[in-house]
Chains A and B, each alone.
Chain A
Amino acid sequence: MDWLRLAIALFLPLLVGVQWVARLIPASPARPWLVAGYGLFAGLMFWPLLLRLWSACGLPLGFWPPLGVAVLLLVALRWWPQTAFPTDQRVAQSRASPAIRLLCGVLLALLCLRMLSLTAEVIWRPLFPWDATMHWATKARTWFEWQRLVPFVSNEEWLRLGGQGVFTDHHPDYPVTIPLWQYWLATALARWDPALINLPWLVCYSSLGMAFYGQARAAAASSVEALVFTFFLLTLPLLNTHVALAGYADLFLATAFGLALMALHNGSVGGQRWQWPLLAFSALSCLLIKNEGFFWMLTLLPGLWVARRRDARRVLLAIAGIAVVVPLVLWLFPADIAVAGHSLYSLDLGYRPGALSGILKSLLVLGNWHMSLWYLVLLVALAVWQRPGVLVAAGPLVTALCAAFLLFLWLFTVTEFAIGAIRQTAVGRIGLHLIPGVVFLLLVMHGQLRKSALRPVSPDPAA
């Protein structure tokens, strides 16, 4: 019975997300993967919103009443008309050789083995990493016991109120999407299970992989190329660790930002207007996961500006603009005003020696990202040498990622968070937010290099 309730609690909300996204995406070779990937993630984001709305209306929480709403939504979506976007007509690709098919089989087998290893950790290991028990699961545990979303406040506020009707932990102001999923699954099981409450991490990992594959196909990559790069993404060690030692929100934020970047790229290519709602929903999801999601969402704006007219000069102008604006903002913004939980005063601005080497160590020396950043170094060198038109082809994606990287660089070199780079305590986790976008950029750059090699050489007019 436990497993039945757990299955219903997990799949019914996710099915709502899948049904909704299915209304947005037209027929195309990539459709099943996009619907599955974006749909599962939509379900992960949507369900906590429903629970919050339910609680805000003063309705008693529990297991079956919210599920009743989910069933109604499924029925309503069933009758909702499909969005009238043009069908994506792409030429079917030729069948791969036996050697390539064998390679694909091996990669799929390795991915299945990876999934199995991670699933074993999630279903058996109780909550383990630091933040998971410091400020994420604390809320879930309390809400499960009280069966209502009791408020969490700061230590000072808690003392002032004498703890009457309020609770406290180390980060009471963090978004509640993650703990709401943990609360929900505990409610489904009718007990606090410190392992099974982390099943959404497996769902998030799967949704990231499927969405990436779908977007890779939508970006005109062959099925083999798409599979290889999806393999690269899903086998990143630090990403795997965030699934195995579930309980942190960074995997979810990485997925949200990555899905937004991919939709931004493919939506700006042309003929894929249906990507814009996916971009909007993914970008807004960043706000629901962690406070720093607000800043990642902002980095999409220069990308959108470049998408209006994609040319190399516009891209370089946008990147240069961000490089100038960020230090200006840091210099001129009032120090005591807090944005997304942080004020300039609390950031303690000043260059920290050792931070840059810590960042380089995290990106290239440690094993966080396998060969990803080495590949990026090579592709950038080849892009400068061969000029395959990456800035034109992937301008919005490059601009958004560069903006995000500049923010990342500033955060870990001139603020108090530089300690997170020097001691390797935070630079990897924040880098995780950008890495799905980086791997997608690798795919796009690889594609451009491949296309530039196939372009016919113009005859010499002097001959």
Chain B
Amino acid sequence: MGDDCRVRSLQFLPLLCLAAGLFYASLASAAATPAEYPDRTGHTVTLHLSAQGTGALNIACPTSAQVLRLRVDRGELVSGVALQRLSTRPAVHRREVLTGPFTGGTLQLPLPAPRAGELADSRCRMLVQGRQGARLTLSVFEWQPVTLLTRLRGMWSDWTGYRPWQQYSINAHAAVVQTWHGLSPNVLLGVTFLLVGLVGFRRWRARFLLGWMLACWLVLDLPWQWRLLQQAEATRAVFAGVAAERRPGFTEDAALWAFAEQVRTRLPAVEARFFVASASDYAGMRMAYYLYPRNVYWRRDGPELPPGDALRGGDYVVVVQPSELRREPQSGDLVLERVQARVLLDVGVIALFEVH
């Protein structure tokens, strides 16, 4: 009897082995990098940006937080790059966007570590934004662990890299903008300044302090001066030689300005009232500015248009997308309470209507 039981149990052994083998094979396949996310270390890759100026590159990546160092041949055409780790659980892809242009050609892209409780995923995707249709050659693809030295190199690259003027520039100047390295030259230099300053003051008094302060100041100021020179050169390259009244046509407001110029040509009289409507504060505000010296109404943080009885015949409405105002699907006229507004000019994202 005992021998029969042993024989029966041994019959299940191959099945158990098969099950175990399948189980371990599934684990191995989950850990192995799928073919569509190849290891690109040391390789050279050509990336074509789409008509919208975007491109993506799949890449195998380490399971820990690292920095990807790579070279791009035409970094001045790249306006933004991000490296994101695809997450198995939860389905949230984290990334830090680095803004260009990258005139030096070398990029250091941070790769975040998996979150606590998250399975380490070795699939990553590099997202690139730049000039439409551009052809970029990416090379080197070197992974570096996030050590203090890597952070310092990242901080240096961030600090000394060129950044064009942004709308937030008038509110704050940040010596560094990337968060992955977690360092600030102002804090590092400030702490060093305090420690050395205290010691030096005890020995050499106030004159040392001023000299030491000047030295630290110059360390912070020279990169800033360099960036100002680069930005001045970029400004000159765009605007010098262009007639002053046409310069807005070479900025990010070009479409708004061009539309205002069409309105100026089509409706030369300045007495009429213009209502600017947009769900975007920036778009509405800039459209209103380019329409001055006309009698323009635009309201920030409020309804896009005043109540219907505020509008009357002879008024004009300029709608800048995004907007929540509705249009007749066939005629394209604006749907308003109590009044009709017929479309006069429509360039897609901006339209001019005349109120009847």
Contact = CB atoms under 8 A, between A and B. Distances in A.
B172 A126 contact: no
B22 interface: no
A228 B214 contact: yes
Interface of B is mostly: helix
B248 interface: yes
Interface of A is mostly: helix
Interface stretch (A191-199, A340-348, A402-410): A191-199
B218 to A, nearest CB: 8
A235 B221 CA distance: 7
Contact of B172 (A118, A121, A368): A368
| Interface size class of chain A, counting residues whose CB lies under 8 Å from the partner chain | 35 or more
Contacts of B225: 110, 113-114, 117, 235
Given A114-B225, A121-B235, A141 B293 contact: yes
B228 interface: yes
Interface string B186-215: 110110011001100100011101100110
A329 interface: no
B247 A238 contact: no
A27 interface: no
Interface in B265-298: 270, 273, 282, 285-286, 288-289, 292-293, 295-298
B173 A237 contact: yes
Interface string B288-331: 11001101111110100010001010000000000000000000
A191 B247 CA distance: 14
B231 interface: yes
A130 to B, nearest CB: 6
Contacts of B197: 378
B184 interface: yes
B171 A425 contact: yes
A125 interface: yes
Interface stretch (A68-76, A132-140, A260-268, A290-298): A132-140
A329 B232 CA distance: 47
B295 A450 contact: no
A374 B193 contact: yes
Given A130-B167, A155-B297, A382-B201, A191 B206 contact: no
A116 B232 CA distance: 9
Interface stretch (B5-13, B237-245, B344-352): B237-245
B171 A367 contact: no
B170 A378 contact: no
A449 B209 CA distance: 10
A195 B244 CA distance: 7
B221 A245 contact: no
A462 to B, nearest CB: 26
Contacts of B138: none
B52 interface: no
A428 B172 contact: yes
Contact of B228 (A114, A225, A429): A114
Contact of B217 (A133, A158, A232): A232
Given A124-B240, A145-B270, A241-B173, A375 B213 contact: yes
Given A193-B244, A194-B248, A371-B216, A137 B289 contact: yes
A245 B220 contact: no
A366 B186 CA distance: 7
B232 A371 contact: no
B236 interface: yes
A193 B247 CA distance: 9
Closest 3 CB pairs of A and B: A367-B175, A145-B293, A374-B190
Given A155-B302, A225-B210, A371-B189, 17 more contacts: A121-B232, A121-B235, A124-B239, A125-B247, A126-B239, A128-B251, A137-B289, A155-B297, A159-B310, A191-B244, A194-B248, A235-B225, A237-B224, A244-B165, A370-B186, A377-B194, A378-B209
Interface of B: 165, 167-176, 184-187, 189-190, 193-194, 197-198, 201, 205-207, 209-210, 213-214, 216-217, 220-221, 224-225, 228-229, 231-232, 235-236, 239-240, 244-245, 247-248, 251, 270, 273, 282, 285-286, 288-289, 292-293, 295-300, 302, 306, 310, 312
